[in-house]
Amino acid sequence: MQSLAEIKQEISLLIEYATPAELRQEAMRLVDRYETDLVALRVFHHFYSYLPEAQEDAIRIIRLLARRQGTFLLCATTGIDNYLYLVTSEQAEFVGPLATGLEDAEVLGFFGIASPEDFRKRCSDLDHLPVHVPAPLDNRLCPICLVEDGECHTLGCPVEVCPWCGGQLISCQCRFAQLGRASLTTEGQIDDFLEKLEKKGRLPFNADEDRPTYPDPTELMSRRDD
């Protein structure tokens, strides 16, 4: 997995070609502000790679519309328009211009938004919506999978605590002991372990007790994927 510095460097190169010369310095200052935040960096990388209107533009502000289980619904305000993105620490997906609303029932339901009309009401005045805070600076979030205090981690997150032994779930031997196996190599085996984990009772993220500090979360995300 790319490091934060490598992702930022790619964004810097993209900005050289995607942004008007007079806005490049401002665009990079915003990237600098979010240089430790994978979520915002994913938005920058996607936006400057594809430019929704196929013309030079620059992101000026990113606002948080909704967040759940490590998935963010963000609005990027540019010199041309406001654009919606669904974002995790691993990828950003372009939804469309804010003006067209949000019609996807699955996405609306995931974030607990009752209807497209309810979404439009929530976003009728962007100035009243919070600016996205860099995830590492938000003490309510897991620094790796970005779930909120009280939510269960994404399976495989290095921060998740094992409910059997109290150790690090991805490092302890409990997953093997519970299934009577020396390794977990198939999706079916992982599903079986998840079923046992849910039955035992997963320990939700506790921001006061569980939140470690890592200068670059991509380092531990790489460990998770090993």
Asked which of 137, 162, 196 is the last residue of a domain, the reply is 137
* pLDDT at residue 91 tops 70: yes
**Which is higher by pLDDT, 225 or 147?**
147
pLDDT score for 218? 62
* Other beta carbons within 10 Å of 90: 14
- Scored b (16 or more CB within 10 A) or e, 61-79 reads ebbbbbbeebbbbbbbbbb
Give pLDDT tens digits for 162-218. 999 999 999 999 999 999 999 888 999 999 999 999 999 999 999 998 876 655 666
Asked which of 137, 170, 194 is the last residue of a domain, the reply is 137
Residues 71, 37 share a domain: yes
Residues 178, 68 share a domain: no
pLDDT exceeding 70 applies to what percent of the chain?
93
* pLDDT at residue 222 tops 70: no
* pLDDT at residue 156 tops 60: yes
Asked which of 86, 114, 137 is the last residue of a domain, the reply is 137
Mean pLDDT computed over 49-60: 97
Residues 119, 184 share a domain: no
Q: What residues make up the domain containing 162? A: 139-226
Find the helix or strand (DSSP H, E) in which 225 lies: helix 217-225
Residues 128, 72 share a domain: yes
Q: How far is CA 178 from the centre of its chain?
A: 31
Residues 95, 74 share a domain: yes
Residues 151, 123 share a domain: no
- Mean of pLDDT over the chain: 93
Mean pLDDT computed over 30-37: 97
| Count of domains observed in the chain | 2
Residues 219, 131 share a domain: no
Coil/strand/helix, residue 45:
helix
Residues 188, 104 share a domain: no
Tokens of 171: 């490092």
pLDDT score for 215? 56
Give pLDDT tens digits for 110-154. 999 999 999 999 999 999 999 999 999 999 999 899 999 999 999
For helices 24-33 and 4-18, the axis angle rounded to 10 degrees is: 160
